[in-house]
Structure 1
Amino acid sequence: MSAAPVRQHRPVAVGATARRANASSPAPEPRRHLHAVAAPEQARSIAPFAWTCIAIVLTSLLAVLLINTQMTKGAYERRDLKIEIASLHQQSATLTDQLERNDSPTYLAQRASDLGMEPASTLGSVSIADGAVLEQGE
């Protein structure tokens, strides 16, 4: 700092308003003390934030794409399995009907006569332990 005295600078007014302003102004204001001012912060770049936001958005879109792809794949597998289950149910129903037809007494009698078998005149049973045929009444 220099040892020179500080001069106050007053604005010079023009015209009648200036004279009134000078005449009515009170005593000069006391001198203000000087304060140190911090240097302004340098502007930060927005690029890292923008790249981070872009990366988050792209990652989210990629995750959604992968999830949708897996869901679609699962939906096709589910559809194929439903078709296979329906086919198996139909096949099971057909086989059950065929088994019931083959199990009926009239069908068994017809098949037996086609094979050359004749109805038994007497009923009997076989003993498994002895291997003997036991006849029961007529």
Structure 2
Amino acid sequence: MSAAPLRSHARPAAAPTTAPQRAIHLHAVTAPRHARSIAPFAWLCIGIVLAALSSVLALNTTMAEGAYTSRDLKIEIAQLHQQRATALIQLEANAAPEALAGRAAELGMQPAGRIGFVTLESGKVLEAGGR
């Protein structure tokens, strides 16, 4: 007799199930999107625009102020030129021989009869011609 090892091909008993299981359908989902607000970007754009407008306004105001200052200085220069011209005309009029003689007469001066020179070494008055 051939002795074959006894193998037990017995199946284990299946666990009793009470209800049939439903098949679960799995599918891939995308990651939730983070809601990004455009408010910071909008505030940045508004800030840049306001800064640009403010700088243009400040520059324009400074240029206008410079133009008014320049105009005022040109007017003052023109007035000073006119005053200088008037002073030169008055100086030339007062330096004329007739004006000098009239002014001297007002002060009580009289024309000299003889012209003399004073020597610095001796302090003597020499008459014209060296006498």
The alignment's TM-score, normalised by the length of structure 1, stands at: 0.61
Kindly indicate whether the alpha-carbon contact (under 8 Å) linking 1:123 and 1:137 is maintained by their aligned counterparts in 2: no
From the superposition, tell whether residues 49 and 91 of structure 1 become closer, same or farther in structure 2 (CA, over 3 Å).
same
How many residue pairs get matched? Answer: 104
Structure 2's unaligned 5+ residue stretches are: 1-22
Q: What is the percent sequence identity of the aligned residues?
A: 61
Question: Hey, what does 1:104 align to over in structure 2?
Answer: 96
Residue 41 of structure 1 deviates from its aligned partner by: 4.1
Question: Hey, what does 2:129 align to over in structure 1?
Answer: 137
Deviations 1:28-70 (A, max 9, x none): xxxxxxxx77636434222111110100000111111111112
Structure 1's unaligned 5+ residue stretches are: 5-35
Residues in 1 aligned to 2:29 and 2:126: alpha-carbon distance in whole angstroms? 125
Kindly indicate whether the alpha-carbon contact (under 8 Å) linking 1:122 and 1:137 is maintained by their aligned counterparts in 2: no
Residue 123 of structure 1 deviates from its aligned partner by: 1.5
Residues in 1 aligned to 2:127 and 2:91: alpha-carbon distance in whole angstroms? 31
Residues in 1 aligned to 2:121 and 2:29: alpha-carbon distance in whole angstroms? 117
- Give every structure 1 segment of 4 or more consecutive aligned residues whose post-TM-superposition deviation is greater than 6 Å: none
The alignment's TM-score, normalised by the length of structure 2, stands at: 0.64
